[in-house]
Structure 1
Amino acid sequence: MTDESNKRPAEEAGVEQQQPSKQPQLNAIIQEDKDRSTKGIAPIKSEYIISTTFTESYNDDEAESSKRDTGDGNGDNGNGDSGKGGKKNNKKRGQNKKRELKQAHETIRLCPSVIDPTNPNSICKFGVEQCRYSHNIEDYLINKPIDLDGICPVFEAIGYCPAGLKCRWLSSHYIKETNTLIVKEGVEKIQHLGEINWIPPQIKNQLQRKKFPLLLSDAVIKFIDSGVIKNDEDKITTNDEISEIEKRKLNASTYIEAPYKSCEKKKLNLKNAKIVSPLTTVGNSPFRRLMKTLGADVTYSEMAFGLPLIQGSNSEWALPKAHESEYPGFGIQLATAKHWQAAKAADIIQQLCPKVSELNLNCGCPIDLLYRKGEGSALMENPARLLRILKSMNYSSSDIPITLKIRMGVKDDKPLAENLVDRVLKSGDVAAITLHGRSRQQRYTKEANWSYISKIGSIVHEFNENQKEDKDSYDKDPVYLIGNGDCYTHEDWYSATSNEGIDSVMVARGALIKPWIFEEIESQQYLDKSATERLSILETYSKFALQHWGSDEFGINSARRFMCEFISFTHRYIPVGLLERLPPKLNERPPLYKGRNELETLLASTDYKDWIKITEMFLGKASDGFSFMPKHKSNSFEPAPKS
């Protein structure tokens, strides 16, 4: 009776009698799935795993592994510590901060005036006797290393080779008998190989001597310093002494030219745009050019500092250079802590670099060196200074719009973006705001907080809607909100942009590890790129690198070095066909595994010596004078032998 009464409710509810017996099996399946999906470890199919045991160096925790990614990370704390509680750790972690990247020079260094014997107008300004370089072409060619096999990639691409006699593929475009360099018929020699924002040496000299005219920014600085500008609380920023106010108003009255209104500046269209983040070291011109060929709409220069730009520094002015294919859609990122530096830098750029789509102020970089100087993420703690910098840039940039990149805040428990974005929107000085969903303290130790980004997106969306209804704001364009952080798949991208207020996503590590990510976004599916296709992308990069740095020994070494830096990210890609489940996670690291063929295994190698071997497929054998040390210590180990 008792048994029957216990069964009756279950039967009446329509529950099958055998269901309780299935539960242990279901629990076993769930547990097995959990075991396979161990946090932080990529779920590679068992037939491709060589060893499930991680080496000490390779089994980095999520915090250290993700610091490999961009110039935003700062590695270890400089003391060889892991940075956790001050305890020392013997694992190879952090950055190789003392790595030497200088390359050996040629034994005989040929004078630039004689590298092209066919140019009769090339004259050494120092004279043959006084010049420190060699003018003896015959002696140089005898001592020059043997030419590399094949056709010079630069000559093949543009019809001539600017490296001239110094080219390592010289035999493919040089007639020894007549001492003549070959130029393809109908080809006009281009001085800068399709580069834009190139600054002549005489202009840099004027900047170095403080002789370059900066009338606009000088007036703007005087105007900002006058104190007449009101903050968002509608209070005068100076003291209330009448005489002082009158004096500063008089100074401000000398500023006659009205600043550009937002509607008068160049138009930005960032809605659903495919955006590559500014990247230190790896975000160079060849990489950005490669990303444009793979579907990117917007690229940014590496972060440039305001003061060196004003002072005409050669190394700093190399950063705003871009390939002509990047414009429109090319932005220059600027870092500074002083409004006068921001004004002058913006003024110089608008005069000398007309092919710039936007100027982006970096208020998100967490590096200690910048933070201590009040730059990067430190500006988030000083909103008044940040607003002055934005206004100075906006007034001095002519028709170039100003954009802003920030983080959630400085400390994990004190997000600042909500209040800061509100003040920035009211100032009316920015065309777009990019928000990285992490704090400075957090760096890359946790996943980006897209819920917080969505919250800020709602604030921006509400502001834009109010602007439409405000008759006094009819001439203002909407402000874009761009999310940033952990976008590695098309699913991540569409998940973010489906939120109201988030106009697009800025991709950083996702584009470095998987350069074809924008192709996946366009096709809305995972692309299982073969090893041959991936190698072809690296080949394209090598050709762009040679066109940028040159096909001589120094240019090849530069191309090889930055190609190794690029491969230090691409080797982290795990082919979709090797995974047990999707989607792949950005911070999941694989056990030691083999690819579906030898080339795929080579492309996954964590050994930087293998990275150099890959570059040798396109750049020839590395010379004895070439050296490369990975940026991160975790790559500086001998891997287990491949089976």
Structure 2
Amino acid sequence: MTEKRLNDESENSDNSVKRVDHFAKGVAPIKPEYLVTQNDNESASVIDDYNDDEAEGGDRQEEAPAASGKGRKRKGQNKNRDLRQQHEDVRLCSSLVDPDSGRVCQFGPAGCRNCHDIDEYFSHKQEDIEGTCPVFSAIGYCPSGLKCRWLGSHYNKETKKLVKDLERQEQARGVNVEVNKISTESKLLLQKKKYTFELANKYIPYLDSLVQNDENIAKQKEREELAKDNAASYVEAPFKVSEKKRLHLKNAKIVSPLTTVGNLPYRRLMKTLGADVTYSEMALALPLLQATNAEWALPKAHKSEYPGFGVQIATSKHWAAAKAAEVIYRETTDVSEINLNCGCPIDLLYRQGQGSALMEQPARLVRILKGMNACSGDIPVTFKVRLGTKDGHNNAKQLVSRVLAENTVAAITLHGRTRQQRYTKEADWNYISEVAQIVNNYNQGQEDSTGAKDSHEAVPTQFVGNGDIYNFEDWHNATSLPGVDSVMVARGALIKPWIFEEVEAQQYLDKSATERLAQLEQFSKFAIEHWGSDEYGVGLARRFMCEFISFTHRYIPVGIMERLPAKLNQRPPMWKGRNELETLLGSKDYRDWIKITEMFLGKASKNFSFTPKHKSNSN
């Protein structure tokens, strides 16, 4: 097809407007018939640029980072978003959620601040959402009881009793469940600082002795002797890497750890779409040790995620890493690996010495990994790192070599950008390949030293690449590189959740708008099962569904593309879909995102609030 340029200019005309060249560098090539024109003389401008740091930083970020290293602020970001969801105006007392439960309010009707009159509560409660309650459909009963927004599907108005499907409850038992919930007793012990860290308390003194502090230890010989003494005091030998659970990452379809959007419902959806390995959202070690509810919500997973579920933590202290690894080992049941985040670029973590800041302190990083490996029981330890922190100063090769020499990790993931680059440049897969070769050479040396390929001592350290995997060609090109066992997919799996289906089919799949909408419907059901079917749970489900759509709306349908593939750094001009639904799914206006959620979660209440991450989506 002849390339038709859309940026012809007529300099002598007062009505002339510069047009967009849909074959220009950085512009996605969309077929002319799907481009939106505002009038005969003007074509729509390219859709605003995206800032993808939220995929890693989420709402932990408190200020705009210096993307150029010179204090330049992010453009168009809605900072300090208030995403708290309000409760109902009239709240029913929890003792009356299930009238047949026999629960009694400890405060009594007179002393309780919540409503004890069911009829009054019903008079203020929002109208039921049409259809069947997703939670009732999944497990045969609804824990939200009378507060459920789909109450009509499991409530007998004549008998005023909740309906329960005993057969469905039995079928769901042990299958459709969430795992890795810390016990109330253990949480209280952590909060009171009375939790017994049997492994960490013995190993931390040894790690302390490795800290090079000239004020306390003046001579290298004294330091070495002290380290030996502390090592000898650690009587229980930690698990070797070869003695821990085995990771199966070779050609595995891996979803990268993602903050905010990488929640349990999203990961569960990805498992239905072919993912083999998923990771929790990044959890901070110190809040885990303080037993904060928000942090302990992160290691939770759906039963379908295991095996193949990893918990990612961030910390800058070896003692916190050791204790966090031990408490995860002791308090969770379905964790395949504990991953240390050494690549998160956000300022909030970097200033605290966490995330990518660990790349600038190799000794500290090694100590942290040693502590995690010694205290994580049979759960293997892995870590994720970037090329470096500054452009032109990549140090991942040296860092990986040093970690390999310690033989403490089961797998290494390398993101092919520096902290300074963020997402402004394409991932450097040449450098990733070079690091993969270092890991490959190390594995070969380990195998040769044991003298037996199948020896338990010769468990290879696996290597995973990360960066710019958006289609099946990217995936297969990356996994074909020597030493690369697999790749992590981040934005590619957010924008196009069926990417692993394409990997299996080895072709581009032109998903219809109806098929894409069905995936969002499935996400909404998983979200309601996770957050609950009451007004508050529906509000959370709606909020995170909007966060999800903030990525899925960026997908450009295969059928309207002039040529394939479209790269992640290519921005499309304003376009229309092949039908109204496809156009709606591609809308960048957050109000349209809310409309999509209303198809499955009912009309948004007056209490619901959502602020998009970028001002360009607020129009």
TM-score normalized with structure 2 length: 0.90
CA deviation map 1:434-482 (0-9, x unaligned): 0000000000001000111011111111111111100289413101110
User: Structure 2 matches for 1:501-520, cutoff 5 A?
Assistant: 501-520=483-502
Q: Which residue of 2 aligns with 1:200?
A: 183
CA–CA separation in structure 1 for the residues paired with 2:98 and 2:24:
60
* Unmatched runs of 5 consecutive residues or more in structure 1: 1-24, 231-236, 638-643
Q: Which residue of 1 aligns with 2:13?
A: none
Structure 1 residues 417 and 280, CA, compared in 2 at 3 Å: closer, same or farther?
Answer: same
CA–CA separation in structure 2 for the residues paired with 1:215 and 1:344:
9
The Cα shift of 1:248 comes to 5.7
Structure 1 residues 87 and 140, CA, compared in 2 at 3 Å: closer, same or farther?
Answer: closer
Give the secondary structure class of the aligned counterpart of 2:488: strand
Structure with the greater alpha carbon radius of gyration = 1
The answer as to 2:476 corresponding to 1:490 is no
Structure 1 residues 465 and 244, CA, compared in 2 at 3 Å: closer, same or farther?
Answer: closer
Structure 1 residues 164 and 404, CA, compared in 2 at 3 Å: closer, same or farther?
Answer: same
Q: Which residue of 1 aligns with 2:17?
A: none
Q: Which residue of 1 aligns with 2:433?
A: 454
Candidates 206, 209, 214, aligned match of 1:226: 209
Give the secondary structure class of the aligned counterpart of 1:315: helix
Matching residue's letter, 1:145? Q
* Unmatched runs of 5 consecutive residues or more in structure 2: 9-19
CA deviation map 1:190-211 (0-9, x unaligned): 6996000012333211110011
Give the secondary structure class of the aligned counterpart of 2:333: coil
Matching residue's letter, 1:483? G
CA–CA separation in structure 1 for the residues paired with 2:493 and 2:521:
17
The answer as to 2:89 corresponding to 1:103 is no
RMSD of the alignment, in Å?
2.9
The Cα shift of 1:542 comes to 0.3
Candidates 177, 183, 189, aligned match of 2:164: 183
Structure 1 residues 263 and 51, CA, compared in 2 at 3 Å: closer, same or farther?
Answer: same
CA–CA separation in structure 1 for the residues paired with 2:487 and 2:281:
18
Q: Which residue of 2 aligns with 1:157?
A: 138
CA–CA separation in structure 2 for the residues paired with 1:66 and 1:60:
12
Q: Which residue of 2 aligns with 1:8?
A: none
The Cα shift of 1:75 comes to 8.6
Matching residue's letter, 2:145? G
CA–CA separation in structure 1 for the residues paired with 2:217 and 2:120:
70
Structure 1 residues 106 and 54, CA, compared in 2 at 3 Å: closer, same or farther?
Answer: farther
CA–CA separation in structure 1 for the residues paired with 2:3 and 2:605:
59
Structure 1 residues 245 and 38, CA, compared in 2 at 3 Å: closer, same or farther?
Answer: closer
Structure 1 residues 145 and 247, CA, compared in 2 at 3 Å: closer, same or farther?
Answer: same
Candidates 584, 595, 601, aligned match of 1:619: 601
Structure 1 residues 145 and 256, CA, compared in 2 at 3 Å: closer, same or farther?
Answer: same
Q: Which residue of 2 aligns with 1:608?
A: 590
Structure 1 residues 28 and 71, CA, compared in 2 at 3 Å: closer, same or farther?
Answer: closer
The answer as to 2:126 corresponding to 1:140 is no
CA contact (8 A) 1:301 1:333 kept: yes
The Cα shift of 1:26 comes to 11
The Cα shift of 1:212 comes to 1.4
Structure 1 residues 518 and 177, CA, compared in 2 at 3 Å: closer, same or farther?
Answer: same
CA–CA separation in structure 1 for the residues paired with 2:366 and 2:540:
39
CA contact (8 A) 2:60 2:348 kept: no
Structure 1 residues 41 and 75, CA, compared in 2 at 3 Å: closer, same or farther?
Answer: farther
Matching residue's letter, 2:268? R
Q: Which one is further off, 92-101 or 543-552?
A: 92-101
The answer as to 2:413 corresponding to 1:431 is no
Structure 1 residues 362 and 174, CA, compared in 2 at 3 Å: closer, same or farther?
Answer: same
Q: Which residue of 1 aligns with 2:11?
A: none
Q: Which residue of 1 aligns with 2:507?
A: 525
Candidates 298, 313, 331, aligned match of 1:334: 313
CA deviation map 1:39-68 (0-9, x unaligned): 111100001111396777x6445xx54446
User: Structure 2 matches for 1:232-381, cutoff 5 A?
Assistant: 239-240=218-219, 249-381=228-360
CA contact (8 A) 1:70 1:508 kept: no
Structure 1 residues 286 and 46, CA, compared in 2 at 3 Å: closer, same or farther?
Answer: same
Structure 1 residues 424 and 592, CA, compared in 2 at 3 Å: closer, same or farther?
Answer: same
The answer as to 2:462 corresponding to 1:480 is yes
Structure 1 residues 176 and 374, CA, compared in 2 at 3 Å: closer, same or farther?
Answer: same
Candidates 554, 562, 568, aligned match of 2:550: 568
CA contact (8 A) 1:116 1:165 kept: yes
CA contact (8 A) 1:66 1:445 kept: no
CA–CA separation in structure 1 for the residues paired with 2:32 and 2:467:
30
CA contact (8 A) 1:73 1:366 kept: no
CA deviation map 1:301-360 (0-9, x unaligned): 000000000010111000000100000000000000000000000010000012100000
CA deviation map 1:231-283 (0-9, x unaligned): xxxxxx96547777666644443321100011210000100000000111000
The Cα shift of 1:564 comes to 0.3
Q: Which residue of 2 aligns with 1:43?
A: 29
How many residues matched?
A: 596
The Cα shift of 1:158 comes to 1.8
The answer as to 2:211 corresponding to 1:209 is no
Q: Which residue of 2 aligns with 1:591?
A: 573
Structure 1 residues 316 and 472, CA, compared in 2 at 3 Å: closer, same or farther?
Answer: farther
CA–CA separation in structure 1 for the residues paired with 2:280 and 2:542:
20
Candidates 613, 628, 632, aligned match of 2:610: 628
CA–CA separation in structure 2 for the residues paired with 1:431 and 1:368:
28
CA contact (8 A) 1:128 1:135 kept: yes
CA–CA separation in structure 2 for the residues paired with 1:203 and 1:77:
35
CA deviation map 1:520-551 (0-9, x unaligned): 00110000000000000000000000000011
CA–CA separation in structure 2 for the residues paired with 1:620 and 1:525:
36
Structure 1 residues 284 and 297, CA, compared in 2 at 3 Å: closer, same or farther?
Answer: same
CA deviation map 1:475-496 (0-9, x unaligned): 1310111010010000000111
Q: Which residue of 2 aligns with 1:418?
A: 397
Structure 1 residues 46 and 219, CA, compared in 2 at 3 Å: closer, same or farther?
Answer: same
TM-score normalized with structure 1 length: 0.87
Give the secondary structure class of the aligned counterpart of 2:36: strand
CA–CA separation in structure 1 for the residues paired with 2:220 and 2:460:
38
Identical-residue share of aligned pairs (%): 59
